């Protein structure tokens, strides 16, 4: 007997996405790639704020194209009652709603969970905000830098006081917003499969960051000491987890945490025996390794790191990383996005295995209001 064609795990799921910028759109991009139909509800004139960010790729932002490929777009003025009513048929069909307004905004529009669940009792409704729906900070505006600053994450490793370093990744929006939303929505779908009940999901970006600091929380909780900027194992306080400048101004990323790797690393750089017990004077060991590594170019250390296999590598830039034969062979950048001129660029390589992706996902991001005629009557 011939097996039925398998489309994708979420091919029967419909999502109304009221979110903008990064956290919500990245979450719904995952669902779109897994087969769900994602319908963006956008401001009738400006659309998603991300459409206006640089760099531009044709008329819209490249970032918008990467985060919204395969989705549908409706432009709708939510402040007008008559326009909101046009959403009623879609709400009755929706499985999931994702929104990212400040607490209380969706209630003003009569689009809050309590109101919608009366029409659709099994709805899964996810609200993503910086500080959650309740508490003293619930209505405070913020961005990624504020959230990692407010939770102690930024203070763990922000460079020298004279020249603090801005993290290169929007870690709060993704690790504190997008990923928790994805996880909880999938759990809510499983719960609905079992009970038939809907769920309300309150994602607080800031509080979802604390699990990332498990080691620091544990260190402080047992009374050892609360980690400070750059003074701990994972923040630059140890020679075993450190960046060392090479002779040609590149960097060796050394992470020989385990003793067996540490011993290999010490042999690799021919570190004096008196400094190999790094618990005695970590800073002295760091300074000596810094001197040793600075005497040879990156090519020299790269060869030895391969030979000794001790969790050490040369730092490369993003352009070179995307050309790495390893990633190319694994097809990391094989999927593409397209614009209206049929020009292509690599799509965002989401961590979804090939067998769970939709095979017919649209590579284009929608024009603002492109699908009004298809969904609004």
Cβ–Cβ under 8 Å, residues 201 and 181: yes
Q: What are phi and psi of 230, to 5 degrees?
A: 70, 20
Which member of 95, 173, 202, 231 is catalytic? 173
C-alpha span between 257 and 236 (Å, rounded): 13
Give the separation between CA 126 and CA 200, rounded to whole angstroms: 6
**Strand pairing category for 14-17 and 37-42:** parallel
Q: How far, in Å, CA of 200 to CA of 207, rounded?
A: 17
173 is an active site residue: yes
Please answer whether residues 96 and 127 qualify as being in contact, where contact means their C-beta atoms are separated by less than 8 angstroms.
no
**DSSP code string of 291-320:** HHHTTS-HHHHHHHHHHHTSSEEE---HHH
d(CA 221, CA 225): 8
Residue 56 CB neighbours (<10 A): 14
For residue 139 the two structure tokens come to 């209505």
- Just list the catalytic residues: 173
């Amino acid at each position: 007997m011939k097996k039925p064609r398998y489309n994708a795990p979420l091919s029967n799921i419909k999502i109304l996405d009221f979110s903008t910028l990064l956290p919500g759109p990245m979450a719904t991009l995952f669902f779109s790639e897994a087969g769900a139909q994602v319908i963006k509800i956008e401001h009738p004139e400006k659309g998603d704020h991300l459409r206006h960010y640089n760099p531009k790729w044709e008329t819209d932002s490249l970032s918008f194209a990467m985060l919204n490929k395969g989705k549908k777009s409706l432009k709708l003025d939510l402040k007008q009652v008559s326009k909101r009513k046009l959403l009623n048929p879609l709400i009755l069909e929706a499985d999931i709603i994702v929104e990212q307004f400040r607490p209380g905004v969706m209630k003003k529009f009569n689009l809050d969970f309590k109101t919608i669940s009366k029409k659709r009792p099994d709805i899964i409704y996810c609200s993503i905000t910086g500080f959650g729906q309740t508490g003293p900070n619930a209505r405070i505006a913020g961005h990624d830098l504020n959230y990692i600053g407010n939770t102690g994450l930024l203070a763990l490793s922000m460079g020298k006081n004279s020249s603090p370093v801005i993290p290169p990744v929007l870690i709060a929006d993704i690790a504190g917003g997008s990923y928790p939303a994805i996880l909880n929505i999938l759990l809510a779908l499983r719960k609905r499969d079992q009970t038939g009940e809907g769920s309300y999901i309150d994602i607080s970006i800031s509080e979802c960051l604390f699990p990332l600091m498990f080691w620091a929380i544990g260190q402080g909780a047992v009374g050892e000491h609360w980690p400070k900027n750059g003074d701990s194992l994972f923040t630059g306080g140890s020679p075993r987890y450190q960046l060392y400048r090479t002779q040609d101004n590149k960097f060796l990323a050394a992470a020989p945490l385990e003793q067996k790797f540490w011993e290999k690393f010490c042999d690799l750089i021919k570190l004096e025996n008196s400094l190999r017990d790094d618990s005695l004077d970590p800073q002295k060991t760091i300074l000596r390794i810094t001197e040793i590594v600075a005497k040879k170019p990156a090519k020299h250390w790269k060869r030895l790191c391969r030979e000794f296999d001790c969790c050490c590598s040369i730092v490369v830039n993003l352009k070179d990383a995307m050309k790495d034969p390893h990633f190319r062979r694994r097809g990391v950048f094989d999927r593409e996005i397209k614009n209206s001129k049929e020009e292509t660029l690599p799509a965002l390589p989401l961590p979804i295995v090939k067998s769970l992706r939709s095979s017919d996902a649209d590579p284009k991001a929608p024009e603002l209001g492109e699908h009004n005629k298809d969904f609004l009557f």
